[in-house]
Amino acid sequence: MGAAAAEADRTLFVGNLETKVTEELLFELFHQAGPVIKVKIPKDKDGKPKQFAFVNFKHEVSVPYAMNLLNGIKLYGRPIKIQFRSVVMPRKMSVCHIPSIMLEIQALPPHLLAAGTKGLWIT
């Protein structure tokens, strides 16, 4: 498993964020579930924070614990929605990339394999 895949296994998507929520606030909140490496709230083209974030943990075991502990809690009156980080495929694909993608799909964590490919989208 590559470094990017290992990081994805330790990363959560946090959605439905109120615009007042900061990376620092999320860092402190998610630190309750385990050591956090970084928190990133992406910005739109105008520099305004989007309504979601990515939280990257030091240990993979912190991910399901954080989901159980924090999913649905309210920040500034809005319940946050926590999910495993989505599997993202490259935008431009050629035939030579298909075997490596198939290997990565076969190496998905058991919870994603059990769900089938319903959650996988190619954009």
Region 65-93: what's the mean pLDDT? Answer: 82
For residue 89, pLDDT over 50 is answered with no
What confidence score (pLDDT) does residue 8 get? 84
Task: Report domain extents, the chain.
Answer: 3-85, 87-123
For residue 22, pLDDT over 70 is answered with yes
Tell me the pTM. 0.66
Region 58-69: what's the mean pLDDT? Answer: 96
Region 16-27: what's the mean pLDDT? Answer: 97
Q: Looking at 15-19, 31-35, 79-83, 114-118, which range is the least confident one?
A: 114-118
pLDDT grade, residue 20 (50/70/90)? very high
CATH number for the domain running over 3-85: 3.30.70.330
Question: Which residue reads 């959605």 in tokens?
Answer: 15
